[in-house]
């Protein structure tokens, strides 16, 4: 999978600045060069790169036929935007120790409501995806998303203090 990620990064297109489009051959760049380039990007440029990277990775992992790729990308982008909009509704408290029991209960219930909305949205989009790709590919897509999430969290944990790392 690591080799595939590098290949997908190599084909990513990043829009920088005005309407000018610059293409980077990520595959031939050294890791330090990639890191430096990404660090120089504005946050919205990094988000665009991540979005394109995810879309390209999904298309490659799922082997979406060329004829269906544009429709899949649009649907996947729409799905991700809705998932992110739902997630943004939940603002966890910073200091749980200072919360009253009622405040904590309320936040627990809010987290369940947000989780249900995420699940409902996922179910709705699974139906839409199955009109473009096979049900097996939808399963694989959700599994790949989980793997990506785990990798990102593991990477973040590796950068945090030892007390914050998961066992």
The reported pLDDT for the residue numbered 23 is 55
Q: Based on the domain organization, do 51 and 73 belong to the same domain? A: no
pLDDT at 134 over 90: yes
Tell me how far apart the alpha carbons of residues 54 and 132 are, in angstroms, rounded to a whole number: 18
Q: Based on the domain organization, do 77 and 53 belong to the same domain? A: no
The reported pLDDT for the residue numbered 6 is 42
Q: Based on the domain organization, do 47 and 14 belong to the same domain? A: yes
For the beta carbon of residue 143, count every other beta carbon within 10 angstroms.
11
The answer to whether residue 37 sits within a structural domain is yes
The answer to whether residue 93 sits within a structural domain is no
The answer to whether residue 43 sits within a structural domain is yes
For the beta carbon of residue 20, count every other beta carbon within 10 angstroms.
7
Q: Based on the domain organization, do 50 and 74 belong to the same domain? A: no
Tell me how far apart the alpha carbons of residues 25 and 57 are, in angstroms, rounded to a whole number: 16
Q: Which residues constitute the domain of residue 110?
A: 67-87+102-167
| Dihedral sign from CA coordinates of 129, 131, 134, 135 | positive
Model pLDDT for residues 10-24, shown as the tens digit of each residue: 444 333 332 333 456
The answer to whether residue 97 sits within a structural domain is no
| Average per-residue pLDDT for the chain | 80
Which is more confident, 166 or 60?
60
Q: Based on the domain organization, do 19 and 74 belong to the same domain? A: no
Q: Based on the domain organization, do 34 and 107 belong to the same domain? A: no
Q: Based on the domain organization, do 1 and 58 belong to the same domain? A: yes
The reported pLDDT for the residue numbered 4 is 47
Tell me how far apart the alpha carbons of residues 97 and 139 are, in angstroms, rounded to a whole number: 39
pLDDT at 158 over 70: no
Tell me how far apart the alpha carbons of residues 50 and 42 are, in angstroms, rounded to a whole number: 12
Which is more confident, 157 or 78?
78
The answer to whether residue 53 sits within a structural domain is yes
Q: Number of folded domains in the chain?
A: 2
The answer to whether residue 92 sits within a structural domain is no
Q: At what angle do helices 43-62 and 135-159 cross, to 10 degrees?
A: 140
The answer to whether residue 107 sits within a structural domain is yes
The answer to whether residue 163 sits within a structural domain is yes
Q: Based on the domain organization, do 127 and 50 belong to the same domain? A: no
- Percent helix, strand, coil in the chain, to 5, is 70, 5, 25
Judge contact between 133 and 62, C-beta under 8 A.
yes
């Amino acid at each position: 999978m690591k080799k595939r990620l590098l290949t997908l990064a190599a084909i990513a297109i990043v829009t920088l600045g005005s309407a000018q489009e610059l293409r980077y051959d990520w595959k031939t760049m050294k890791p330090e060069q990639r890191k430096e380039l990404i660090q120089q990007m504005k946050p919205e440029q990094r988000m665009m790169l991540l979005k394109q990277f995810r879309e390209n990775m999904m298309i490659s992992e799922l082997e979406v036929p060329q004829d269906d790729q544009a429709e899949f990308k649009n649907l996947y982008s729409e799905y991700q935007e809705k998932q992110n909009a739902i997630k943004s509704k939940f603002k966890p408290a910073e200091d749980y120790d200072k919360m009253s029991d009622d405040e904590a209960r309320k936040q627990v219930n809010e987290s369940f409501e947000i989780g249900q909305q995420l699940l409902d949205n996922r179910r709705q989009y699974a139906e839409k995806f199955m009109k473009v790709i096979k049900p097996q590919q939808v399963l694989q897509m959700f599994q790949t998303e989980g793997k990506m999430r785990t990798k990102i969290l593991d990477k973040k944990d590796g950068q945090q203090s030892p007390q914050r790392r998961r066992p």
